[in-house]
Chain A
Amino acid sequence: MSQCGKTRREMIWESGAGFAGAALTYLLAGSGFFNAKAAAATMEKKPHFAPKAKSCIFLFMYGGPSHMDTFDPKPELVKRHGQQMPNMGTDALLKLRSSRLGALLGSRRKFTRYGQSGIEVSDFYPHVGKCIDDIAVIRSMWTDSFAHGSGLLQMNTGFIRQGFPSIGSWLNYGLGTENENLPGYVVMLDHRGGPISGPPNWGSGYMPASFQGTQFRSSGDPILNMDPPAGVTAGQQRRQLDLLAKLGRGPAVSGAPENDELNARIASFKLAFRMQSTAPEAVDLSKEDEETKRLYGLDNPVTAPYGRNCLIGRRLVERGVRFVQLYSGGGHGDANWDAHRDVDENHSEHCAETDQPIAALLTDLKRRGLLDQTLVIWGGEFGRMPMSDTTRAGTKGGGRDHNPRGFSMWMAGGGVKGGQVVGATDEFGHAAVDNRIHVHDLHATILHLMGLDHTLLTYFHGGRNMRLTDVHGHVVKQLLA
């Protein structure tokens, strides 16, 4: 029995409110109003302490951007270009990948100091460089896997195997969503394809499917199956939904256990009906002014695809979406940041696609007063090696293999202390040596900025209380403002 002393069916039946009543009941149950068993099992929904950020946008550079060519200048590497990397024979990972690891490859990029903080950024990212005072550059990231599939999964879910909930799932589980009419977790892929380990990267793992990421497309109808099929009008659908609600009441079945899911399901159809108009509105860029569209580079075919996604990302967090992930790069090889063949050629393409849009996103969020409550993260699944990869067809020796031991990411907004560099790699950029930050630590910090203690945010599965950070991770205090 619910707290008001009636079964859910009785309440809706007697109130005569029908569909609207069902939706209201669902929303109330979601706020813990009724003693709803189905909802309670998955409820967290409150931060552990006051959050700094309400939303998070993760700009995912799939393939592994080269840190020594973007945010981590290595003059010693440039000096020793062409020489052999020391300790190749004694290091297990280097021995394993030795066929892809030739002589040391100095970066040919020119680094410039930007802003008041004077942090160096390469000529691949001039627009982002201008925003550096809002950015905390992390140069000491490290992770467990050198393979894309497992590296992606670890960056997204904390584990190198699939089957675990992703960051967005944890955040929605922990905090709920601010806008019931949009998914709380949205993912937008690159037009060239998805990342190697695919949908499990935005999956909900062992959590209910309601915490999955929903893929949005930037053209056509944003969500799969959002539009009614050809020939079905909104009026027709409305009639169908009303009939569904009426038939959903069914004959009274005596002795039937109360089932909140039945009514929640009726409500989900009403929400889906509403989503058919809220989702297109969220991705409708026609209402944005010309200056904004130019800022994001929508007038340039190179920057337009990622620019559109960044602008949609801003609109989504404005509308209360909790976690947005925007992939740069797709498919295989040079279609993403995986620069085995040639870093200069690969990254000039991908940096040109992302530099202006990302800077525009930061600028736009800031001028709308949203940056303080929106955590923006940039990075990929790992970095790249200081040595030249000579195995790719067509290479002239300017490519780099994967490097999980040391790489760069950055964070901005949402309570992050900008204008600083955290951590460092060795003189070649091979391994993180100073203030090493593992993916688990990054995750702990993300949760912290969103108001969640990573050790207390647990989900019971398989006999134990699971965490995004498993049994690892610590919050990196230096990143906090």
Chain B
Amino acid sequence: MIRDSALSVTGSLNPAMHGPSIYPDLPKPVLAQQSRPGDGWGKSPGSEAARRSIYIFAKRGLPVPEIDLLDAPDTTVSCERRRVSVTGPQALTLFNGAFSQQQAAGLAARIRAEGGVALKGQVARTFQLVLGRDASARELDDSLSFLNASGGKLEPFCLVRLNTNEFFYLN
């Protein structure tokens, strides 16, 4: 869900349905957990890999970090109710992980294209895209101070936006 939402917000989600399973890129240390590292894990070209998470190839012994850390159920046992947990390693993956970094860059590119040149407009567009609402005065303020302190780079701001609770949790 989170993976799909992030892809959707950055404009990279490929909505094509059906067809063969996809293999998102897995970092080497994750593949190193296999007894034959890399065995059985294919390679999907860019747009294929951006399809919905439901199409991710389910290899029972090789969980994909983005979904495994977020309580994806084991595929061999029936799951009557998804657990919800909050962990440090989740935060590390969602902040530092390659997937999040890519999505932040993708979102930043989209904001620059759609939000105009001024920082204020860009912040406003980010809120609209990610949260579906306008920023409050205080939020605008906080975001602008952050951007000014970070030299106007959008990517770190986008990363934060993709990690806020409002994006993550349904109310």
* Interfacial residues, chain A to chain B (CB-CB below 8 A): 38, 42, 161-164, 183, 189, 193-200, 203, 205-212, 214-215, 217, 223-229, 232, 236-237, 239-240, 242-244, 246-248, 250-251, 253, 256, 259, 261-262, 264-269, 271-273, 275-276, 330-332, 461-463
Closest B residue, CB atoms, query A275:
B88
Cα-based distance from A162 to B37 in the complex (angstroms)? 20
Q: Which of A161, A189, A262, A272 is in CB contact (< 8 Å) with B89? A: A272
List the count of A-B residue pairs having beta carbons below 8 Å apart.
189
Contacting pair A244 B164 (CB below 8 A):
yes
Segment of B11-19, B45-53, B79-87, B107-115 engaged in the interface with chain A: B79-87
Within residues 54 to 108 of chain B, which ones have a CB less than 8 A from any CB in chain A? 60-63, 65, 68-71, 73-74, 76-80, 83-93, 95-98, 101
Cβ contacts under 8 Å, A163 to chain B: 74, 76-77
Contacting pair A162 B149 (CB below 8 A):
no
Shortest 5 CB-CB contacts between residues of A and residues of B: A163-B77, A208-B85, A272-B91, A198-B61, A163-B74
Cα-based distance from A210 to B89 in the complex (angstroms)? 9
Contacting pair B30 A224 (CB below 8 A):
yes
Cβ contacts under 8 Å, B157 to chain A: 243
**Among A161, A210, A215, A273: residue with most chain B CB under 10 A:** A210
Contacting pair A162 B60 (CB below 8 A):
yes
Interchain nearest-CB distance for A390 vs B (Å): 24
Cβ contacts under 8 Å, B79 to chain A: 206
Contacting pair B65 A224 (CB below 8 A):
yes
Cβ contacts under 8 Å, B60 to chain A: 162, 200
Closest A residue, CB atoms, query B61:
A198
Q: Which of A183, A199, A228, A232 is in CB contact (< 8 Å) with B62? A: A199
Within residues 125 to 171 of chain B, which ones have a CB less than 8 A from any CB in chain A? 136, 139, 142-143, 146, 149-150, 156-157, 159-161, 163-166, 168-169, 171
Cβ contacts under 8 Å, A232 to chain B: 156
Interchain nearest-CB distance for A463 vs B (Å): 8
Closest B residue, CB atoms, query A202:
B33
Cβ contacts under 8 Å, B29 to chain A: 215, 217, 224
Provide a sorted-by-A list of 27 A–B residue pairs whose CB atoms are within 8 angstroms: A42-B83, A162-B60, A183-B89, A198-B34, A199-B61, A205-B77, A208-B71, A209-B70, A209-B90, A210-B85, A212-B68, A225-B95, A228-B95, A239-B146, A239-B156, A243-B142, A243-B143, A243-B146, A243-B157, A244-B164, A247-B161, A247-B164, A248-B166, A262-B165, A265-B168, A266-B165, A272-B92
Cα-based distance from A251 to B22 in the complex (angstroms)? 38
Contacting pair A208 B165 (CB below 8 A):
no
Contacting pair B171 A256 (CB below 8 A):
yes
Contacting pair B150 A239 (CB below 8 A):
yes
Contacting pair A247 B139 (CB below 8 A):
yes
Cα-based distance from A214 to B30 in the complex (angstroms)? 12
Closest B residue, CB atoms, query A205:
B74
Contacting pair B86 A268 (CB below 8 A):
yes
Cβ contacts under 8 Å, A189 to chain B: 32-33
